[in-house]
Structure 1
Amino acid sequence: MSTFFSDWYYLSIRSIKQIWRPLLALIPSLFIPIFFFVVNSSSLDAFSKVPGFPPSITYRDFIAPTALFTAVFFSSGNAGIELVQDISNGYFKKLLIMPISRLTIILGRLTEVAVQAVMQGTIVVVLLLLVGVRIQTGVLGLLAIFAMLMIFAMAWSCVSMISALRTQNARLVQSLFVVVFPFLYLTTSQAPMPLLPPTFRLIASYNPVTYIIEGVRALVLTGWGNPAIWQGFLVATTLFVIMVTLTLGSFKKALR
């Protein structure tokens, strides 16, 4: 067991160092959520006056959780690209022939995702607090937000890792970035569920991202009694277990 954690630690350190290479690559994943938050909160502020919108909540506060989610969501795309690089330069094959658990290889990458998620999420939280957004559940709620978003980010990063293992094509893995937007906007990220058109509402109810956003929104706007919080953790944890399992299964493809 000690060997397992030791391998996980050293693989994590290597992966975390890759966050800064190059540093400029972090700018888009930070700029996009901040840009959309600023634009939407100012241009759609009147939407909070529409009947059916949650009372006593500004549109700025309503989409603040979306900005947090997006910042963390965009941190999950690098794992697959870096894995393709390791496959192409032969480092991945060396890992496979070493007496280390394949799970530690995955967890090393996921630790990088978690660290980057915290970094980007912290920057966005500071900006949200500066513009007047308040987290109703306090410091513990903020920790819960990061926990939920980190679990989901690690689960989502497995999608790019599976693609990397199965295709070993960097361009294809990088193109998965566009999949983020349908999953993000077919949710309650921009409007509450009752105000969505029926078809849109049906899609959002089956979209796992909806439950993560609603869980974060409950921690920001309401309080611990909202069932959306445990539902968000349940969805994030379930996806994490499923996606890590699928990623482990994809190692067989990489060994051919």
Structure 2
Amino acid sequence: MMQHFLSDWYYLSIRNIKQIWRPVLALIPSLFIPIFFFAVNATSLQAFANAPGFPKGISYKDFIAPTAIFTAIFFSAGNAGIELVQDITSGYFKKLIIMPIHRLAIILGKLSEVAVQSVLQGSIVLVLLLLVGVHVKTGFLGVLAIFAMLVLFAMAWSCIGMIAALRTQNARLVQSMFTLVFPFLYVTTSQAPKELLPKTFALIASYNPVTYIIEGVRALVLSGWSDPAIGKGFVVAAVLFVLLVSAAVASFRKALK
């Protein structure tokens, strides 16, 4: 039984991963946007690092570098729901569900695609950040931890698009959910420390799960292994993964009724 499940997961993953390159030009926006915003903000807001309350000895470029990596990987989570709608409308999904394939294997096959695309896009952005002088204080193991946390979060977030696809089967609605990225990203400490945010903004950020992911990555880049933000980031990513994958499986079952 387990061997059959793993086999289904493997072959569905291979099929989905191949879709990353169709077409290659579709990858450009998700790479361009984080690089563009990093370059603009690092240049135009570098004096912000001198503001009272900003962490001492840290350049603004280094402070927002984790946001650039996060954004590149965050964007990779948006395709799963759209591709699932395409599978539904093309009839491929119907053929899939009448076969003796475990439903969880279908979802995990999509998540494998998200993981691979996240690593590819995140690696490109990370290399560019290193080339402009950003330094990861926790070293190579820290880089692995950054990708582990962000990929786990990206897979969890992609389930939101899949849930929408399964419940609505509407490509336009699923595609419009991409706009949720920006409120969740910017109502955080992505651009400034919580101490420098307005009280209402800081309160909202403290309830935003994305804040804990960004803070966890930032700790790996700027602080070191002793920073408790790293553990909090992994806990939030893991909890979201369990909850959203479970919700996707439940939506899958409901869609089949």
| Structure 1 and Structure 2 fold alike (TM over 0.5) | yes
Counterpart amino acid of 2:155? M
Counterpart amino acid of 2:125? V
Structure 2 unaligned residues grouped into runs of 5+: none
Q: Is residue 73 from structure 1 mapped to residue 74 from structure 2 by the alignment?
A: yes
* 1:60-89 Cα distance to aligned partner (Å, 9 max, x none): 000000000000000000000000011011
How far, CA to CA, are the matches of 2:93 and 2:207 in structure 1?
36
Counterpart amino acid of 1:131? V
Partner of 2:173: 172
Give TM-score scaled by structure 2 length: 0.99
How far, CA to CA, are the matches of 1:95 and 1:105 in structure 2?
9
Q: Is residue 37 from structure 1 mapped to residue 34 from structure 2 by the alignment?
A: no
Partner of 2:153: 152
Counterpart amino acid of 1:3? H
User: 4+ residue stretches of structure 1 with deviation over 3 A?
Assistant: none
Greater mean deviation of Cα atoms: 94-103 or 127-136: 94-103
Counterpart amino acid of 1:86? D
How far, CA to CA, are the matches of 1:137 and 1:2 in structure 2?
38
Partner of 1:244: 245
1:24 Cα offset (Å): 0.4
Q: Is residue 184 from structure 1 mapped to residue 185 from structure 2 by the alignment?
A: yes
SS in 1 for 2:120: helix
SS in 1 for 2:7: helix
Q: Is residue 106 from structure 1 mapped to residue 111 from structure 2 by the alignment?
A: no
Counterpart amino acid of 1:36? F
1:90 Cα offset (Å): 1.1
Counterpart amino acid of 2:244? M
Aligned pairs for 1:79-228 within 5 A: 79-228=80-229
How far, CA to CA, are the matches of 1:237 and 1:95 in structure 2?
28
1:175 Cα offset (Å): 0.3
SS in 2 for 1:77: helix
Counterpart amino acid of 1:185? Y
How far, CA to CA, are the matches of 2:126 and 2:90 in structure 1?
37
1:251 Cα offset (Å): 1.3
Counterpart amino acid of 1:150? V
How far, CA to CA, are the matches of 1:243 and 1:95 in structure 2?
22
How far, CA to CA, are the matches of 2:109 and 2:210 in structure 1?
24
Aligned residues: 256
How far, CA to CA, are the matches of 1:93 and 1:215 in structure 2?
40
How far, CA to CA, are the matches of 1:49 and 1:239 in structure 2?
36
How far, CA to CA, are the matches of 2:218 and 2:256 in structure 1?
42
How far, CA to CA, are the matches of 2:153 and 2:38 in structure 1?
21
1:93 Cα offset (Å): 1.3
1:15 Cα offset (Å): 0.3
Counterpart amino acid of 1:165? L
How far, CA to CA, are the matches of 1:4 and 1:217 in structure 2?
37
Counterpart amino acid of 1:167? T
How far, CA to CA, are the matches of 2:152 and 2:253 in structure 1?
25
Q: Is residue 17 from structure 1 mapped to residue 18 from structure 2 by the alignment?
A: yes
SS in 2 for 1:250: helix
How far, CA to CA, are the matches of 1:141 and 1:252 in structure 2?
39
Partner of 2:65: 64
How far, CA to CA, are the matches of 1:246 and 1:207 in structure 2?
19
How far, CA to CA, are the matches of 2:13 and 2:181 in structure 1?
25
1:254 Cα offset (Å): 2.1
How far, CA to CA, are the matches of 2:238 and 2:101 in structure 1?
25
* 1:197-222 Cα distance to aligned partner (Å, 9 max, x none): 00000000000000000000000001
1:94 Cα offset (Å): 1.4
How far, CA to CA, are the matches of 1:138 and 1:220 in structure 2?
8
How far, CA to CA, are the matches of 2:226 and 2:6 in structure 1?
36
How far, CA to CA, are the matches of 1:235 and 1:251 in structure 2?
24
1:91 Cα offset (Å): 1.0
1:253 Cα offset (Å): 3.4
Q: Is residue 54 from structure 1 mapped to residue 55 from structure 2 by the alignment?
A: yes
